[in-house]
A and B are shown apart, each in its own frame.
Chain A
Amino acid sequence: RKEVEQDPGPFNVPEGATVAFNCTYSNSASQSFFWYRQDCRKEPKLLMSVYSSGNEDGRFTAQLNRASQYISLLIRDSKLSDSATYLCVVSLMDTGRRALTFGSGTRLQVQP
């Protein structure tokens, strides 16, 4: 089983739609959680951190469910510019390994 799993998509949605992505992680000791966005042939960029209480940044809402070991990202009122790959990222504090584990990403295509 992969450490971080995401539905690869693609998710094809019309402008203005609401779309949700889920991500599951295998290690219950995982500590930090993030969503990154990656445009084609560009570097990943931090979209938002994910906190236990859930957090919102404009049209984006992230939630964490530790009991079920999944993270979600909700995008409301989708824009064409939201088209990208969304990477779920998890940090595991074990044996001093200070590294993040990336999911393989979910591709979103917002259509006019």
Chain B
Amino acid sequence: DAMVIQNPRYQVTQFGKPVTLSCSQTLNHNVMYWYQQKSSQAPKLLFHYYDKDFNNEADTPDNFQSRRPNTSFCFLDIRSPGLGDAAMYLCATSRDGYQPQHFGDGTRLSIL
């Protein structure tokens, strides 16, 4: 059974139109992460939550926001998607941030 679930698997949006990607987990892990991965590149950490504490990476554009309303759910909001934001977005969880991360299947975002 999937333990980290991302919805949708594929998302198409228009240039500049806000989009929200969702992630849920059944592992009860404290830490949830959002990564952006482009073709042939490593996953790039955007931000993570340790419980309710939000940690933004220094180079994450302001266009990207996140919400974690409870332990199980975490959302990635892209306020005004640009063509350069087309990528795979991966959600991951970790028990404490030092243990291995468990990834969801990812959401592939396309921008028209």
Chain A residues proximal to chain B, CB less than 8 Å: 31-32, 34, 41-46, 49, 87, 91, 93, 96-105
Chain B residues proximal to chain A, CB less than 8 Å: 31, 33, 40-43, 45, 48, 50, 55, 88, 90, 94, 96-106, 108
Evaluate contact between A104 and B98: CB separation under 8 angstroms. no
Q: How far is the CA of A96 from the CA of B53 in the complex (A)?
A: 11
Residue pairs across A and B with Cβ atoms less than 8 A apart, 20 shown, are A32-B98, A32-B99, A41-B88, A41-B108, A43-B103, A43-B105, A44-B43, A44-B90, A46-B101, A49-B100, A87-B43, A91-B97, A93-B98, A98-B94, A98-B96, A99-B48, A99-B55, A102-B42, A104-B41, A105-B42
Q: How far is the CA of A45 from the CA of B3 in the complex (A)?
A: 13
Residues of A within 8 A of B31 (CB): 98
Residues of A within 8 A of B103 (CB): 43-45
Q: How far is the CA of A44 from the CA of B97 in the complex (A)?
A: 16
Q: How far is the CA of A42 from the CA of B42 in the complex (A)?
A: 13
Residues of B within 8 A of A44 (CB): 43, 90, 103
Chain B residue at minimum C-beta to C-beta distance from A93 = B98
Residues of B within 8 A of A43 (CB): 90, 103-106
Chain A residue at minimum C-beta to C-beta distance from B39 = A41
Among B55, B88, B101, B105, the residue within 8 A (CB) of A100 is B101
